[in-house]
């Protein structure tokens, strides 16, 4: 149970955080017409991309380091509490259908476990030990990357995850929305996207959450580009698990090759629906087993496989 001394200390900490600042000019926002509130909120959100822009060099460096580790078989692990944890879980869950990654390649950890996605788990975010235990359950190794996510940059669970992962030799990234944060300081790559006070005081699911989502999109998407999961801007590793994605697969093969529908159908059938392999059979004029071997030999990079087949990439 939190003591009165701890409560006083935490309140003092919150008073120093930009994300927690009170905006007196919005004190009567509840009296405004709905359209006016929507305009104000939209204007607030429009400031987030500029805040992300200021951190692009740090984000790019973190992505390059992550891609290098993942190219050697490492995993990408997000760790956070509350909104930050949910955003990590969301980004991780979108990688298998988008990039055909295994569920164990990009992982989202939220303080308190899966039930914390919808129900607050008391005390979970305050435990560094819980973060260490969650990472130990994954057997974190040197080729892995752990991203601690916290709007305040002071959440013990996120800091504990970064500290424990770093002690195990893993690459660490700290994503926060305040400057001088303990989370960024604990990580090898600190990313502090300062989005300022929120529309609703302390509701960091708003601008801070939007900023975190944008950065996580960059980390996962650009890492996958670096790993050869795309061909240009085409998602050639998409997993066709429903009718919409099967139609998208055919469209991607068409855009990449310009082939006729019968040729596309034949290529996808021969390669068991693997888009990247189907494209290679068409552009390199090779059979499915040869395409599969070329992609294995080039670590799944389609352009490299095309060059290996003597074709222009």
Q: What is the mean pLDDT of residues 16-20?
A: 76
Shared domain check, 249 and 199: no
Which residue, of 226, 253, 286, is where some domain finishes?
Answer: 226
**E strand or H helix at 296:** helix 288-297
Is residue 313 in some structural domain?
A: no
Shared domain check, 157 and 182: yes
CATH number at residue 290: 1.10.8.1080
Contact 149, 175 (CB under 8 A): yes
Domain range spanning residue 210? 48-226
CA 259 vs CA 6, 9, 156, 271, 273: distances in Å: 67, 66, 54, 16, 16
Shared domain check, 263 and 121: no
Which residue, of 226, 252, 278, is where some domain finishes?
Answer: 226
Q: How confident is the model at residue 4 (pLDDT cuts 50, 70, 90)?
A: low
Give dist(CA 202, CA 137) in Å, integer. Answer: 32
Q: What is the mean pLDDT of residues 14-40?
A: 86
CATH number at residue 65: 3.40.50.10490
Percent of the chain with pLDDT over 70: 95
Is residue 43 in some structural domain?
A: no
pLDDT at 2 over 60: no
First to last CA, the chain: 62
Residue 229, token pair as written in the block: 């999961």
Q: Which residue in the list 94, 188, 263, 265 is annotated as catalytic? A: 94
Q: What is the pTM of this model?
A: 0.90
Tell me: the pLDDT tens digits for 127-162? 899 999 999 999 999 999 999 999 999 999 999 999
> Cα–chain-centroid distance for residue 86?
11
Of 10 and 291, more confident: 291
Q: What was the pLDDT predicted at 72?
A: 96
DSSP string, 11-55: HHHHHT-GGG---GGGTTGGGS-HHHHHHHHHHHHTTHHHHHHTT
Residue 176, token pair as written in the block: 């926060």
Is residue 215 in some structural domain?
A: yes
Q: Which residue in the list 105, 125, 163, 274 is annotated as catalytic? A: 125
Number of domains in the chain: 2
| Lowest pLDDT segment from 81-85, 113-117, 241-245 | 241-245
Q: What was the pLDDT predicted at 118?
A: 84
Shared domain check, 157 and 106: yes
Quick one: residue 312, left, alpha or beta (phi over 0 = left, psi -120 to 50 = alpha)?
Answer: beta
Which residue, of 174, 200, 226, is where some domain finishes?
Answer: 226
Is residue 10 in some structural domain?
A: no
Shared domain check, 200 and 254: no
Shared domain check, 204 and 60: yes
Shared domain check, 279 and 152: no
Burial 163-198 (b: 16+ CB within 10 A, else e): bbbbebebbbbbbbbbeebbbbebbbbbbbbbbbbb
Residue with the two structure tokens 């960024």? 184
pLDDT at 1 over 60: no
Shared domain check, 201 and 61: yes
Q: What is the DSSP letter of 111?
A: T
Give dist(CA 14, CA 211) in Å, integer. Answer: 20
Shared domain check, 282 and 216: no
Q: What was the pLDDT predicted at 175?
A: 98
Is residue 31 in some structural domain?
A: no
pLDDT at 3 over 70: no
Is residue 57 in some structural domain?
A: yes
Q: What was the pLDDT predicted at 123?
A: 75
Is residue 34 in some structural domain?
A: no
pLDDT at 18 over 90: no
Give dist(CA 120, CA 122) in Å, integer. Answer: 6
Is residue 16 in some structural domain?
A: no
Q: What was the pLDDT predicted at 238?
A: 85
Shared domain check, 168 and 88: yes
Shared domain check, 248 and 170: no
Annotation marks residue 125 as catalytic: yes
Residue 223, token pair as written in the block: 């890492």
Percent of the chain with pLDDT over 90: 80
pLDDT at 9 over 80: no
Contact 81, 105 (CB under 8 A): no
Q: Which of 190, 192, 161 is nearest to 176 (CA)?
A: 192
Q: What was the pLDDT predicted at 149?
A: 98
- Mean pLDDT of all residues in the chain? 93
Q: What is the mean pLDDT of residues 174-181?
A: 96
Quick one: residue 112, left, alpha or beta (phi over 0 = left, psi -120 to 50 = alpha)?
Answer: left
Shared domain check, 135 and 52: yes
């Amino acid at each position: 149970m939190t003591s009165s001394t701890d409560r006083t200390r935490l309140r003092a900490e919150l008073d120093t955080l930009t994300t927690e600042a009170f905006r007196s000019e919005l004190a009567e926002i509840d009296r405004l017409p709905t359209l006016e509130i929507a305009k104000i909120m939209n204007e607030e959100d429009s400031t987030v991309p500029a805040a992300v822009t200021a951190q692009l060099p740090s984000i790019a460096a973190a992505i390059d380091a992550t891609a290098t580790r993942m190219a050697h078989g490492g995993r990408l692990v997000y760790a956070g509490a509350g909104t930050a944890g949910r955003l990590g879980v969301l980004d991780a869950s979108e990688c298998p259908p988008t990039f055909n990654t295994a569920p164990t390649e990009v992982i989202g950890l939220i303080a308190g476990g899966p039930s914390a996605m919808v129900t607050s788990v008391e005390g979970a975010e305050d435990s560094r030990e819980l973060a260490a235990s969650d990472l130990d359950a994954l057997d974190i190794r040197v080729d892995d990357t752990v991203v601690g996510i916290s709007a305040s940059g002071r959440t013990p669970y996120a800091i504990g995850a970064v500290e424990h992962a770093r002690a195990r030799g893993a690459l660490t990234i700290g994503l926060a929305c305040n400057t001088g944060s303990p989370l960024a300081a604990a990580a090898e790559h600190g990313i502090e996207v300062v989005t300022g006070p929120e529309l609703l005081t302390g509701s960091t699911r708003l601008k801070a959450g939007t900023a975190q989502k944008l950065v996580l999109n960059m980390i996962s998407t650009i890492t996958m580009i670096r790993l050869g999961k795309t061909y240009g801007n085409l998602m050639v590793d998409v997993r066709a698990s429903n009718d919409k994605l099967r139609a998208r697969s055919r469209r991607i093969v068409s855009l990449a090759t310009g082939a006729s529908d019968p040729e596309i159908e034949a290529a996808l059938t021969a390669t068991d629906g693997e888009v990247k392999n189907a494209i290679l059979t068409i552009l390199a004029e090779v059979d499915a087993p040869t395409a599969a071997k070329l992609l294995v030999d080039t670590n799944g990079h389609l352009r490299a496989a095309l060059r290996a087949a003597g074709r222009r990439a």
